Amino acid sequence: MQQVTRILLLLILALVYTGCGNGEERESAPARDEAPELTQFELEHGIGPVTERLDIGDINVERARRGAEVFDLRCTACHRMGRRFVGPPLGEITEARSHEFIINFILNPEEMTNRHPVGQALLQEYMTIMPYQNVSKEQAIEIVDFLRYYAETGEDLRD
Amino acid sequence: MAQQTTIWKITSLLLGLGLLAMIMYGCPSQTGMLDTREAAQKVYVAPGEYDEYYAFFSGGYSGQLSVWGLPSARMFRNIPVFSQDPESGYGYSEETKPLLMTSYGFIPWDDSHHPDFSHTDGMPDGRWIFINGNNTPRVARIDLTTFETVEILELPNTGGNHASTFVTENTEYIIGATRFSIPYEMDKDVSIDSYKENFDGSLSFIAVDPESGEMSMDFQIIMPPYHYDLGRAGKGPSADWAFFTTYNTEQAHTLLEIYASEFDKDYVVAVNWRKAQEYVREGRARTVPAKYYHNLKDKNTGIAVSTVHDEVLLLDPKDAPDMIYFMPTPKSPHGVDIDPTGEYIVAGGKLATVIPVHSFSRMLEAIGNEAFEEVINGIPVLEYEATIIGEVENPGLGPLHTEFDGDGNAYTSVYISSEIVKWSLETFEVTDRIDAYYSIGHLMITGGDTPNPDRKYMVGLTKTARDRFLPTGPKQLHPAQLYDISGDRMELLLDFPTIGEPHYAQAIRADIIKPNVKQIYDLDDNNHPHAVKRPRDARVERDGDVVRVYMTNIRSHFTPDNIEGIRVGDTVYFHLTNIEQDWDMVHGFAIKGANSGEVLIAPGETKTIVWHPQRTGIYPFYCTAFCSALHQEMQGYVRVSAADSNVPLTWRTGDE
């Protein structure tokens, strides 16, 4: 009987002690916040500042020349037209991707690499994230014209 | 069985005692924690949140300026100023080396004491912060859009620029002074015993261009051979004046510890700088020879350029009446601090038994009434009783510096008794005191030296940590303490180790600086003559023994990354341009055997490091800043051949 009393007393004490926890228990292995699923527009035209179709008109050669200058400064460390370098070849990119997709990739490379399935696949292949190069939206459109002009005529306006 | 019973008894007794203790004092983790928790909450800045203030602590003998957040006391950056920094390459790169030039040659160290902001209407405007170099007298300007040292001006005819940098109401002038009197003509070779005949004091007034911030030595005032310790610019009604403390009016030149402590009073110097400026513009100053350097980072190229000056304008008080006065004050004063209204001038007589408070308006009256005790070298000495308005009794031993909270309270650091005393500007009575850990020098209240202080935080800058932190040997970092001064009583919130030996500090509301901080250097504005902005312009050029490598950096390669045709005995300049345009994407560069630091290159910037290869072989170079997943791949090789080899100069990246 004495033994039972002792055990009961111990149980009570144990309860009192464990009542002094260190605050709330952490949830085990918290999941990272799930990003919202991509919209159909984002899947097709990329994630970024451009959220609707742009009407940039036909190729404007003057604009393409300005694009050649920007491309030379901000892109050629990693891109070539006809072959793979640090990043993918861009000679025919305007035929594979929409203007909005290209502009979003230039303006928002980190999110495009982290969240967009095409960006994720490119990272798997090229192993490096495209740097943000502080190119304006206007300049990105100029680059698209430069790339369109190359794709159409085969002429590199940097030369 | 008996043994088992004993164990039960002991266990029960222990648990019972524990229960009793718990009932009496609560759960153990909370015991005695209440005050600490309150203090912790006041300094806790949650992850991702920002501090309310930027604070800038001088580095003292580190020659640097460290940047902190208040109230968290997190350190953001340590800015090299009068020092070489192997981490960033400051003082090692060709662009920054000229900043450390003086008339005594390249001096990569100094003792930085007192930072002060540029001011507009008396308030810090967040454009620049200035700091003095005490030893080889200099003043530096740090640009608060980039947090980098952009200018250093040497002070001629000065022995220890301690009373500096203190900035006038609208940044018209930064003041400076000689701490150690020396012959004004710096290279004069005389006997030290001829101190009284041959030695002089000098005060300096450094003009600041309101647009560019560029500093220039406008004029100096020659003074009796006392020691000029600290200074302050006036404010409000006293804004046209600057004040300095003197000690060693005894004019001792050996064992100053004894011989410079004999007199009961020394002086506070009051200078009407606006009148002095008028006299200088009227041509009353003499042009005298003086050799000093002015080093300025060119905004377009990013390269610092040194200019050597050979004369300075000198004003003698004998030729400049009604401009400068001595106010006697007890005894070997250290700090001189002006209250937010500009009316009270508080001196910290480190050997005095009271804190003397002088009145600016009474000073003007005394000048009007010519209440002079005597005239020294054309400088009238006002009567003590005519300028004094209060003496704070029982301030502790060794009062040094005073700051203000804008609600009529003053806070004085007291070195020997290691405490801060709070006193009333109305009654001049001590109302509170709190310990400092240990041996406090300056103290700093958020805005406490401005016309409009924020009565929030006070930092005590103390000289020795002793047992405050885990010990790190005979020499430990200097500590600082953070106090809450918003209530009636001062409360200690935190103490933390600092960098170097902070003397004075400054704080500014973060929202004044933060919106203007640059994230990149714009490549379009980079006009460095050796910049290479497009990889196809990357190249290597030889001109005799001088080889220049024009190299770009971007995640994750150098262009070029294979170089051959370098010879033993060449001088090789690596001109590195970081062509990234993304915030905080820094690349570093180091090559085996280079006798210098690395260089860190901010986005859009061009930096140059020089290398003298002395042995043949293959030399790897690499990016020292972990820049991307392929950072380990960001490397290259230089082949060094014998001095007489004819290996052609070639370079490439990849197969191009």
Per-residue pLDDT tens over the stretch B583-594: 999 999 999 999
pLDDT at B27: 42
Taking an 8 Å cut-off on Cβ atoms, the answer to whether B630 and A6 are in contact is no
Taking an 8 Å cut-off on Cβ atoms, the answer to whether A128 and B18 are in contact is no
Least CB–CB distance from A134: residue in B520, B533, B654: B520
Q: Find, in chain B, the residue whose alpha carbon is nearest to that of A129.
A: B628
Do the beta carbons of residue B619 and residue B595 sit within 8 Å? no
Helix (H) or strand (E) holding B26: none
Domain boundary among the residues B319, B337, B364 is at B319
Do the beta carbons of residue B492 and residue B42 sit within 8 Å? no
* CATH number for region A58-159: 1.10.760.10
Domain boundaries, chain A: 58-159
Taking an 8 Å cut-off on Cβ atoms, the answer to whether A129 and B629 are in contact is yes
Least CB–CB distance from A128: residue in B27, B556, B585: B556
Closest approach of A75 to chain B, Cα-based (Å): 9
Strand order, beta sheet including B166-167: B116-120, B123-133, B138-143, B148-154, B286-297, B304-315, B215-223, B201-208, B173-177, B166-167
Closest approach of B533 to chain A, Cα-based (Å): 6
Expressed in angstroms, the distance from the first to the final Cα of chain A is: 101
Cα separation, B25 vs B19, in Å, equals 10
Which residues of B are less than 8 Å from A86 in CB distance?
557
Closest approach of A59 to chain B, Cα-based (Å): 25
Closest approach of B573 to chain A, Cα-based (Å): 22
| Beta pairing, strands B650-652 & B379-382 | unpaired
Taking an 8 Å cut-off on Cβ atoms, the answer to whether A133 and B556 are in contact is no
DSSP-derived 3-state class of residue B41: helix
- Let me know if residue B458 belongs to a domain: no
Domains of chain B: total = 2
Low-confidence stretches of chain B (pLDDT < 70) are 1-34
Least CB–CB distance from A73: residue in B19, B533, B629: B533
Which residues of B are less than 8 Å from A129 in CB distance?
555, 628-629
Which residues of A are less than 8 Å from B12 in CB distance?
6, 9
- Please give the radius of gyration of chain B, using alpha carbons only, rounded to the nearest integer: 29
Structure-block tokens of residue B472? 């790190």
pLDDT at B23: 46
Least CB–CB distance from A72: residue in B534, B554, B580: B534
In sequence order, what are the residues at sequence separation of 6 or more whose Cβ sits closer than 8 angstroms to the Cβ of residue B473? none
Residue A25 has pLDDT above 50, yes or no: no
pLDDT at A33: 60
Taking an 8 Å cut-off on Cβ atoms, the answer to whether B629 and A20 are in contact is no
CATH number for the domain including B158? 2.130.10.10
Cα separation, A144 vs A122, in Å, equals 19
Taking an 8 Å cut-off on Cβ atoms, the answer to whether B580 and A6 are in contact is no
Q: Is the bond leading into B556 cis (omega within 30 degrees of zero)?
A: yes
Q: How many CA atoms lie within 13 A of B274 on its CB side?
A: 11
Taking an 8 Å cut-off on Cβ atoms, the answer to whether A131 and B22 are in contact is no
- Which DSSP symbol is given to B98? G
> B587 and chain A: CB distance < 8 Å anywhere?
no
Which residues of B are less than 8 Å from A133 in CB distance?
580-582
pLDDT at B401: 97
Domain boundary among the residues B298, B319, B340 is at B319
Taking an 8 Å cut-off on Cβ atoms, the answer to whether B22 and A16 are in contact is yes
pLDDT at B628: 87
Closest approach of A157 to chain B, Cα-based (Å): 15
Q: B618-628, pLDDT tens digit by residue?
A: 999 999 999 98
Residue A67 has pLDDT above 50, yes or no: yes
Structure-block tokens of residue B181? 């009197």
Taking an 8 Å cut-off on Cβ atoms, the answer to whether A131 and B556 are in contact is no
> B188 and chain A: CB distance < 8 Å anywhere?
no
Residues of A with CB under 8 A from a CB of B: 6, 9-10, 13, 16-17, 19-20, 22, 72-74, 76-78, 85-86, 127-129, 131-135
> B630 and chain A: CB distance < 8 Å anywhere?
yes
Strand order, beta sheet including B479-484: B440-445, B457-462, B479-484, B491-497
- Let me know if residue B572 belongs to a domain: yes
Q: Find, in chain B, the residue whose alpha carbon is nearest to that of A80.
A: B656
Closest approach of B23 to chain A, Cα-based (Å): 10
pLDDT at B106: 98
Least CB–CB distance from A9: residue in B12, B533, B559: B12
Pairs across A and B, CB distance < 8 A: 64
Taking an 8 Å cut-off on Cβ atoms, the answer to whether B523 and A13 are in contact is no
Residue A13 has pLDDT above 90, yes or no: no
Expressed in angstroms, the distance from the first to the final Cα of chain B is: 90
CATH number for the domain including B615? 2.60.40.420
Least CB–CB distance from B534: residue in A73, A127, A128: A73
Q: Find, in chain B, the residue whose alpha carbon is nearest to that of A20.
A: B27
pLDDT at B656: 78
pLDDT at A128: 87
- Supply the range of the domain harboring residue B201: 85-225+285-319
pLDDT at B121: 97
Q: A82-140, pLDDT tens digit by residue?
A: 999 999 999 999 999 999 999 999 999 999 999 999 999 999 999 888 999 999 999 99
Closest approach of A129 to chain B, Cα-based (Å): 8
In sequence order, what are the residues at sequence separation of 6 or more whose Cβ sits closer than 8 angstroms to the Cβ of residue B267? B226, B245, B246, B249, B326, B327, B328, B329, B381
Taking an 8 Å cut-off on Cβ atoms, the answer to whether B29 and A20 are in contact is yes
pLDDT at B629: 84
In sequence order, what are the residues at sequence separation of 6 or more whose Cβ sits closer than 8 angstroms to the Cβ of residue B150? B141, B142, B143, B213, B296, B297
Helix (H) or strand (E) holding A12: helix A2-19
Q: Find, in chain B, the residue whose alpha carbon is nearest to that of A19.
A: B27
Closest approach of A77 to chain B, Cα-based (Å): 6
Closest approach of A24 to chain B, Cα-based (Å): 14
DSSP-derived 3-state class of residue B241: strand
Q: Find, in chain A, the residue whose alpha carbon is nearest to that of B524.
A: A73
Q: Give this complex's ipTM.
A: 0.77
Taking an 8 Å cut-off on Cβ atoms, the answer to whether B582 and A6 are in contact is no
Least CB–CB distance from B654: residue in A72, A73, A85: A85
Q: Find, in chain B, the residue whose alpha carbon is nearest to that of A85.
A: B654
Q: What are phi and psi of B378, to 5 degrees?
A: 85, 5
